[in-house]
């Protein structure tokens, strides 16, 4: 399995993490939550004909330099990449672009409405896939404990967080993720922290992504293998009896 340590180290050294050497170039741009898709596609590439070259960039990792020291200015670090001879060819050669939504990361913004965005720097992938961000969604009692203050209406706020996530789904390429999440979050553990999702979340997205966009002949052997992967299972916010009572959880 590929871990965030591996991708960060390679990105700070080479500009991005890369695996495979096939003719179809895939770029995954996102937070650590997108690591699942990097692992799924890498596994498929290794199990099949190796037709993909898969690259990965996490814009947040530019907070550090190649010595893994915090940079003085993240904004300047991002701006310096606008003429980077490693990054620009990567963008221009991408065939399949899989990404979360970014609006505050300079040249890596995926919002075409941003003053700077990745499309201005050569991104012209034939397949462009926007996946919903699951970022800072405080739902469970111990999610609020981590902030230092648990409001009396924590469960009501948790339901509002779910509604917010569902609204994010509707502006991604997977609006039906909203319905899937609503129908299943009380039955399946869909997230481990306010920022880390589980395999029940990422496997559903992978299947939907393949049906809608990738059209890969994914085998039962592949699905059996990736179903055993759940990289963010630890650390995990503990579910309490308060959560079970408030939300009628069945797990």
Percent over 70 (pLDDT), the chain = 100
Average pLDDT over residues 153-159: 98
Domain extent, residue 157, equals 133-197+232-251
Using the predicted structure, report yes or no on whether residue 233 has a pLDDT greater than 90.
yes
Token duo for residue 52: 């993909």
**pLDDT classification of 68: cutoffs 50, 70, 90:** confident
User: In this structure, are 149 and 170 located in the same domain?
Assistant: yes
Q: What is the mean pLDDT of residues 51-63?
A: 97
Same domain, 138 and 87: no
Do 94 and 185 fall within a single domain?
A: no
Please indicate, yes or no, whether residues 216 and 182 belong to a single structural domain of this protein: no
Kindly state whether residues 163 and 239 are assigned to the same domain: yes
Task: Give residue 95's pLDDT.
Answer: 98
Percent of the chain with pLDDT over 90: 98
Q: Residues 12, 31: one domain?
A: yes
Considering the domain architecture, whether residues 59 and 7 belong to the same structural domain is answered as yes
Check whether the bond before 145 is cis (ω within 30° of 0).
Answer: no
In a shared domain, residues 101 and 138: no
Going by C-alpha positions, the residue among 204, 183, 182, 200 that lies closest to residue 191 is: 200
Q: In the prediction, which pLDDT does 169 show? A: 98
**Distance (Å, whole) CA 39 – CA 34:** 9
pLDDT at 112: 93
153 lies in the same domain as 190: yes
Enter the pTM of the model.
0.96
Mean pLDDT of 220-247: 96
If asked whether residues 49 and 5 sit together in one domain, one would say: yes
- What pLDDT, on the 0 to 100 scale, is given for residue 66? 85
**Number of structural domains found in the chain:** 2
pLDDT, residue 180, reads: 98
């Amino acid at each position: 399995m590929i871990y965030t340590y591996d991708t960060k180290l390679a990105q700070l050294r080479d500009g991005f993490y890369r695996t495979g050497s096939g003719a179809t170039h895939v770029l995954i741009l996102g937070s650590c939550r997108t690591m699942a898709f990097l692992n799924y596609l890498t596994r498929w590439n290794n199990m099949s004909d190796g037709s993909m070259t898969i690259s990965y960039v996490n814009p947040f990792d530019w907070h550090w330099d190649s010595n893994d020291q915090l940079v003085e200015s993240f904004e300047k670090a991002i701006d310096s990449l606008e003429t980077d001879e490693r990054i620009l060819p990567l963008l221009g050669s991408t065939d399949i672009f899989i990404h979360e939504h970014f609006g505050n990361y300079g040249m890596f913004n995926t919002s075409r409405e941003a003053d700077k965005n990745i499309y201005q720097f050569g991104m012209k992938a034939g397949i462009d896939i926007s996946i919903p961000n699951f970022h800072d969604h405080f739902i469970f009692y111990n999610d609020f404990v981590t902030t230092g203050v648990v409001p009396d209406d924590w469960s009501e706020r948790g339901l509002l967080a779910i509604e917010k996530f569902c609204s994010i789904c509707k502006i991604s390429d997977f609006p039906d993720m909203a319905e899937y999440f609503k129908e299943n979050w009380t039955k399946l553990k869909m997230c481990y922290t306010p920022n880390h999702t589980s395999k029940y979340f990422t496997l559903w997205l992978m299947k939907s992504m393949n049906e809608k966009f990738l059209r890969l002949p994914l085998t039962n052997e592949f699905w059996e293998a990736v179903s055993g992967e759940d990289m963010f299972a630890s650390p995990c916010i503990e579910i309490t009896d308060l959560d079970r009572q408030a939300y009628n959880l069945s797990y």
